[in-house]
Structure 1
Amino acid sequence: MSGIGSSRLPVLLVLASTYPRWPADPEPGFVHELSRRLTERYRVIVLCPHAPGAKPRETMDGVEVVRYRYAPERWETLVNDGGIVTNLKRARWKLLLVPGFVLGQAWVAWRLMRRERVDVIHAHWLIPQGLIAALLPWLPGWRVSYVVTSHGADLYALKGRLLDGIKRFVARRAAAATVVSSAMRERLAALGVPAAHIHVLPMGVDLSERFTPDPSVPRSQHEILFVGRLVEKKGLRHLIAALPQVLEGVPDAFLTIVGFGPEEAALRQQVHTLGLQAKVHFLGAVAQTRLPALYRRAALFVAPFVQAESGDQEGLPVALMEAVACGCPVVAGDVAGIEDLLGRMKPYICVDARNAEMLASCICSRLIDSSTAGLHAQAVLEEASRRVDWNRIAAGYARLIAQADDMK
């Protein structure tokens, strides 16, 4: 694996599962957004799984990306289009991919550690990346400290005594453990990890350039916008179920859906069954560069989050933060941790998304009284700007990673 590059900067090895497969990939890119903001302080190498059509190795925005193989290319489908937990739930045969997925990343990480003289590791997700980082020092060769970050599904959906024990083991051995919401900090502490060892640092939003309000763009009076993976915890089926009641109050309302995922066929069927084909538009996957225009034109962004049957739920949702950053009025499902973003505005924004009548009533009130909705949006933006700006978030992670580097 030598020859990736050389630099006098200390080497940071990032272990991840979800990562852009190519530039403008619609898959979540928050790990890359953080990694590229650390390249001024570190030589950043990201080790992530390969996917069909992706390059085995490339440099993206100054980040050196190594994609390891874990199965024949056409079977490398464990991560994308819904995430690992969702894919395992939908196709149990993909459990057969897990050993190669974990062992493949561990093997290549060990080789990178030795050949690139890695100084420190940042592992995204407690399982499996955090476990790999925790076990690497037991192998012969280079030994370093690590920071581990939980994003939600690894903490909420992976349940059981054994898995809880692994999460506790990983977090305790880390130089620092981070989570993306206060609710997740409480959940991890309940597993026996000292609260003082856990830091709340969400993924961020580019508030200075990409996701910004634009008063010159006129807002629609009737467009409801949804952006996110089409998976259970995003709650889109509840929004669609509430739409007939929304139309009773606001007949000109319509829903634009941006995203892709394993529930798309079922959601399209739901739209057809309800006779909403003329009122619901599926745009599919959209590049990040196109999202700001959608947030700026929508009358209302609705994020009907729920807790999935598996227990999985949002940590601190990036799309909601992006909409807020663009000044778009928002309605969100009331799930744990969302108060970290909304602060004192949570009572005005959140609703039980499973209750179609309540959700429809909230949406109608925002569409009808757009001036009040706009004032609430501004108040939410003021709250969020103190919490999710990428500059502040990246500085926080850089500080923890530097402290971990000093511990080796």
Structure 2
Amino acid sequence: MSPSEPGTAYVLKMYPRFSETFIVAEILAREAAGDRIEIFSLLPTNDARFHPELARVQAPVTYIDRPIKTIALWEALQLADEAGLTAAIGRNFAELAAATADEAVQAINLATALQGRNLRHMHVHFASGATTVARLASFITGIPFSFTAHAVDIFHESVRDDDLRLKLEQAHHAVTISQYNLRYLRRRFPGSTSRLHLVRNGLELEHFPYREPRPLGPTLRIAAIGRLVEKKGFQHLLPAAAELLDQGVKLDLRIAGTGLMADELEASIDQLRLGEHVRLLGPQTQDQVHELLDSADVFVAPCVVGADGNADGMPTVLLEAMATGVPCVSTSVTGIPEVVRNGSTGVLVRPGNPHALARGIRTLGSPATDRVALSRNARAVIEEDYDVHRQAELLRSLSRSERSAA
């Protein structure tokens, strides 16, 4: 795509990030639809794991400096002056001064980096620091910005109402990933959400072929995947596994991921005497995740709302499991009931309840359950609502409305 074609800047806190496959899928879908994308990352990646899909991304990546020394700050201001931005910085100095030093300087550096690239719009994922930087850069450059609100940037106790309200009001538009989030934000900010839209995270479905669930064997193979943190709920899955074993269910539970709760979960496995039945696999590549899903009879996403208010918006791996035909159990947290519809596309249980989790897993391991019907229904919902190409077209139409109005 020629730079003569107007492009879209994706402003991200860190790129690439192993856990944010939905962003890569979205960029690939927009590029496939003809959009010219450039990526601006506020931090260099600290993740040694990379998805093969990254090699397909055509967008160039620019890393935005965050000066540590005074001389670097001075050089940033000189470059902004050379780009003709001094007057705009002066006009918006009050906004810059109200931000943190890092955000203000990165906004100036981003504004400078955007010059001469024929970029007409900025889009950001997560309504946190990266959106602050894009908002300030928008003041300086006049390039409109939009953002996708997910979960931690909405529900965490650190989120400030005045900050989120300001972003909703000043963005060209904002999107969020579930009807639950949409209703929540409209209730919380009734006067600031007239340009808030629903655009779900999507999958490249061509990379997630469906297969019917295999007949159950003597051992129920259970998979769970995610960071080992409170909101993922694995601390409730372990006692559920113990309950199933006490009831005579033979099971093999494998949990993939790494995180702060790894030691606590290992201790629980020992305490509950689950060592022969439960394995913590640690971090896995995308191919290993696909293999784990392919081998599973049941996938469990036991999500909860954390003590700090943090919650999952929509676990991407849950969508992947449903897309590929693995019968799923999950919990009624945020937008999950929009995809896991109890008795239709999976089994939905109360969060934080090991007994309910055990009952849900037992249901999917029962010969009386029509696992094939559940899986077919789940795939149909994923195809209808979570196809990344459809979601990317929604994003494109929202940014095009700005261009036609300009």
TM-score (norm 1): 0.82
Query: Equivalent of 1:14, from 6, 10, 17?
Result: 10
CA shift, 1:103, in A, is: 4.4
Q: Quick one: which amino acid aligns to residue 266 of structure 2?
A: R
How many angstroms apart in 2 are the aligned matches of 1:64 and 1:277? 46
Query: Equivalent of 2:208, from 197, 208, 211?
Result: 211
Give the greater-gyration-radius structure (CA).
2
- Where does 1:57-68 land on structure 2 (aligned, <5 Å)? 61-68=57-64
SS at 1:230 equivalent? coil
SS at 1:13 equivalent? strand
CA shift, 1:137, in A, is: 3.1
Match in the other structure for 1:198 = 196
Q: Quick one: which amino acid aligns to residue 184 of structure 2?
A: R
Match in the other structure for 2:172 = 175
Match in the other structure for 1:352 = 350
Q: Does 1:341 align with 2:339?
A: yes
Percent of pairs with identical residues? 23
CA shift, 1:346, in A, is: 6.8
CA shift, 1:373, in A, is: 2.8
Match in the other structure for 2:132 = 131
How many angstroms apart in 1 are the aligned matches of 2:372 and 2:122? 43
Superposed CA deviations along residues 103-129 of structure 1, whole A, max 9, x for unmatched, are 464243212222423211001111112
How many angstroms apart in 2 are the aligned matches of 1:181 and 1:346? 19
How many angstroms apart in 1 are the aligned matches of 2:62 and 2:147? 19
Superposed CA deviations along residues 350-402 of structure 1, whole A, max 9, x for unmatched, are 11131221211221221133752332222222223210011111111111122
Q: Quick one: which amino acid aligns to residue 399 of structure 1?
A: S
User: CA distance change for structure 1 residues 345 and 13 in 2, over 3 Å: closer, same or farther?
Assistant: farther
SS at 2:273 equivalent? coil
Match in the other structure for 1:47 = 40
Task: State whether residues 14 and 44 of structure 1, in contact with CA within 8 Å, keep that contact through their aligned partners in structure 2.
Answer: yes
How many angstroms apart in 2 are the aligned matches of 1:170 and 1:266? 38
Task: State whether residues 147 and 404 of structure 1, in contact with CA within 8 Å, keep that contact through their aligned partners in structure 2.
Answer: no
CA shift, 1:64, in A, is: 1.4
Q: Does 1:149 align with 2:148?
A: yes
How many angstroms apart in 1 are the aligned matches of 2:373 and 2:332? 21
Superposed CA deviations along residues 308-327 of structure 1, whole A, max 9, x for unmatched, are 11111111221111100001
User: CA distance change for structure 1 residues 102 and 281 in 2, over 3 Å: closer, same or farther?
Assistant: farther
Q: Quick one: which amino acid aligns to residue 133 of structure 2?
A: I
Q: Quick one: which amino acid aligns to residue 31 of structure 2?
A: T
Task: State whether residues 125 and 149 of structure 1, in contact with CA within 8 Å, keep that contact through their aligned partners in structure 2.
Answer: yes
CA shift, 1:253, in A, is: 0.3
Task: State whether residues 22 and 201 of structure 2, in contact with CA within 8 Å, keep that contact through their aligned partners in structure 1.
Answer: yes
User: CA distance change for structure 1 residues 304 and 344 in 2, over 3 Å: closer, same or farther?
Assistant: closer
How many angstroms apart in 2 are the aligned matches of 1:346 and 1:198? 30
Match in the other structure for 2:72 = none
Greater CA drift, 292-301 or 229-238: 292-301
How many angstroms apart in 1 are the aligned matches of 2:314 and 2:215? 28
Q: Does 1:230 align with 2:251?
A: no
CA shift, 1:6, in A, is: 6.0
How many angstroms apart in 2 are the aligned matches of 1:14 and 1:217? 41
Task: State whether residues 213 and 297 of structure 2, in contact with CA within 8 Å, keep that contact through their aligned partners in structure 1.
Answer: no
Match in the other structure for 2:323 = 325
User: CA distance change for structure 1 residues 106 and 350 in 2, over 3 Å: closer, same or farther?
Assistant: same
User: Unaligned 5+ residue runs, structure 1?
Assistant: 73-97
User: CA distance change for structure 1 residues 131 and 287 in 2, over 3 Å: closer, same or farther?
Assistant: same
User: CA distance change for structure 1 residues 237 and 19 in 2, over 3 Å: closer, same or farther?
Assistant: farther
User: CA distance change for structure 1 residues 14 and 193 in 2, over 3 Å: closer, same or farther?
Assistant: farther
CA shift, 1:158, in A, is: 4.4
How many angstroms apart in 2 are the aligned matches of 1:345 and 1:194? 37
CA shift, 1:31, in A, is: 1.2
SS at 2:163 equivalent? helix
User: CA distance change for structure 1 residues 338 and 193 in 2, over 3 Å: closer, same or farther?
Assistant: farther
RMSD over aligned Cα atoms: 2.8
Q: Does 1:385 align with 2:386?
A: no
Match in the other structure for 2:305 = 307
TM-score (norm 2): 0.82
Task: State whether residues 205 and 322 of structure 1, in contact with CA within 8 Å, keep that contact through their aligned partners in structure 2.
Answer: yes
Task: State whether residues 249 and 364 of structure 1, in contact with CA within 8 Å, keep that contact through their aligned partners in structure 2.
Answer: no
Greater CA drift, 143-152 or 63-72: 63-72
Task: State whether residues 213 and 372 of structure 2, in contact with CA within 8 Å, keep that contact through their aligned partners in structure 1.
Answer: no
How many angstroms apart in 2 are the aligned matches of 1:277 and 1:260? 18
How many angstroms apart in 2 are the aligned matches of 1:289 and 1:10? 36
Task: State whether residues 8 and 36 of structure 2, in contact with CA within 8 Å, keep that contact through their aligned partners in structure 1.
Answer: yes
Greater CA drift, 216-225 or 168-177: 216-225
User: CA distance change for structure 1 residues 379 and 60 in 2, over 3 Å: closer, same or farther?
Assistant: closer
Match in the other structure for 1:95 = none
How many angstroms apart in 2 are the aligned matches of 1:362 and 1:321? 18
How many angstroms apart in 1 are the aligned matches of 2:130 and 2:323? 30
User: Unaligned 5+ residue runs, structure 2?
Assistant: 69-98
